[in-house]
Amino acid sequence: MSLAILYTIITLSAIGITAAVILYITAQKFKVYEDPRIDQVDEALPGANCGGCGFAGCRAFAEACVSKNELSDLFCPVGGNDCMNEVAGILGLEAVKKDPRIAVVRCNGACENRPKTNVYEGASSCAIASSLYGGETGCAFGCLGHGDCVDVCDFDALRMNPETGLPEVIEENCVACGACVDACPKDLIELRRKFPKDRKIYVSCRNQDKGAAARKACTVACIGCGKCVKECPFDAITLENNLAFIDSEKCKLCRKCVAVCPTNAIVEENFPPRKVKAEKPAAEKAKKPVVKKEKADEVSPKDSSEQKN
């Protein structure tokens, strides 16, 4: 072996060793410590990466959980309370139980309720159509019907009804991630408290026009009459900008507001049919007059003898 080759091998080896030492020292100096509990929490999460928790993904949510001293403001809507209990067990913290939520489409402007006044020809996108004009009907607050909310849902929890032209929520698939809420340019979709048996009562309208204009544009629009507000015994309904709103946290599902709404803008879902009170026959309704007989004045024997005399 020539000296040139030997010197080359020695030189390259020295360079490699020196570079390795420099890289090792640099790695140790700038090493970032990562809590091993992050991986444990990440494995406990459902891995949907939907952003419903308010973070970019499950990994970011896991890092936030580990960095916090409490979990009161952190919640995974997909995993629910069971998932958060597992996360709390890993971190030695206490999970805050929260009621499950579900998406609700607050528009009942089906084709028969909200007739079209024009025809839109353009890109099939609610976001684009909303930026161009108010819609194909007289209601500028209603659903545009292009299905942006359906497109962004990763859980197949939304579908477009071809008969009504409105999106429908598939309750058993909805995880309340909130992607559809962000996608709707008309702010028609809301995450509401999920009651037992999936029962719901809400104002299915977002029209803020005054009563006559709102009713002209849609036959089932809220006209802001305020009857529901007066009828609610739990102060769960407020009226603002000619529009009623039912707070699902205060609502007790009594259904009194549904009965008094003159336009059927308040919707009740998954309730049993109302019991119809049987009317009494006309004969039973007519009440017999009660005749009170006055008692004759009692006459004492002494008085009677005086009268004879």
Architecture (CATH level 2) of domain 101-269: 2-Layer Sandwich (3.30)
Q: Three-state DSSP class for 197?
A: helix
For 203-254, write each residue's pLDDT tens digit: 999 999 999 999 999 999 999 999 999 999 999 999 999 999 999 999 999 9
Architecture (CATH level 2) of domain 37-91: Orthogonal Bundle (1.10)
pLDDT band for 298, please (50, 70, 90 cuts).
very low
156, burial (CB in 10 Å: exposed 0-12, middle 13-18, buried 19+): exposed
pLDDT band for 19, please (50, 70, 90 cuts).
very high
Say if residue 284's pLDDT is above 60: no
Q: What is the pLDDT of residue 307?
A: 44
pLDDT band for 279, please (50, 70, 90 cuts).
low
Say if residue 57's pLDDT is above 50: yes
Two tokens at 225?
């009459």
Query: What is the residue extent of each domain of the chain?
Result: 37-91, 101-269
Task: Report percent pLDDT > 70 for the chain.
Answer: 88
Say if residue 161's pLDDT is above 70: yes
Output the average pLDDT for the chain.
88
Say if residue 288's pLDDT is above 80: no
The winner for highest mean pLDDT among 5-9, 196-200, 273-277 is 196-200
For 247-274, write each residue's pLDDT tens digit: 999 999 999 999 999 999 999 999 998 8
Q: What is the pLDDT of residue 163?
A: 92
**What's CA 145's distance to the chain center, in Å?**
19
Q: What is the pLDDT of residue 29?
A: 80
Phi, psi dihedrals of residue 169, rounded to the nearest 5°? -90, 125
Q: What is the pLDDT of residue 106?
A: 97
Instruction: Report whether 175 contacts 155 (CB < 8 A).
Output: yes
